[in-house]
Amino acid sequence: MTMLTRYNPVGEVLSLKQAMDRLFDDSFVSPAGWMTIAGGQIGPAIDMWETPDEILVSAALPGLAPDDVEITLTGQTLSLRGEFKADDQVSRDQYVVHERRYGTFHRQLTLPVRVDGDDADATFEHGLLRLRIPKAAEVKPRQIEIQAPKQLT
């Protein structure tokens, strides 16, 4: 007996969509996705937010010491450089599971406003780098007091 199979183009499109979703999820979302498309370098996860007076940055740098990280602020460009080092006591063929990434990283962020880099400070605790960068005086919000009109005499 011969089986008749109908062509279903919708099924083909869905499987292609699922394959593309899986590709992007694996490449950009998962922790193993620290590899960049361009240079194969790795980069830490970074959060940046602002308050009326300052820009705050938090970067996850597990396994690094404060001396392993270089922070540079040029104008409105913040640069973080460092290197995640592999454990020299374990050879490549001994690994059963090897998910952590190693190598140098360089992240650059453009800050949303002008800042006062001279008063910036950084703290590093438990693998978490925190930066506090004050905004430049001219971009901070100012309260303007309303004056009563002067009486003409």
Number of domains within the chain? 2
In this structure, how many other beta carbons lie within 10 angstroms of the beta carbon of residue 11?
9
Q: Are residues 46 and 67 in the same domain?
A: yes
Q: Are residues 76 and 54 in the same domain?
A: yes
Q: Are residues 124 and 103 in the same domain?
A: yes
For residue 4, being part of any structural domain is answered with no
Q: By the 8 A CB rule, do 111 and 76 touch?
A: yes
pLDDT of 53:
92
* Closest to 121 (Cα-Cα) out of 63, 56, 61, 59: 56
- Quick check: 14 pLDDT over 80? no
pLDDT of 7:
61
pTM for the structure as a whole: 0.64
| Distance (Å, whole) CA 134 – CA 56 | 9
Q: Are residues 68 and 127 in the same domain?
A: yes
Share of the chain above pLDDT 90, in %: 39
Structural domain including 69 reads: 41-139
N- to C-terminal Cα separation, the chain: 111
User: Who wins on pLDDT, 49 or 39?
Assistant: 49
For residue 2, being part of any structural domain is answered with no
For residue 128, being part of any structural domain is answered with yes
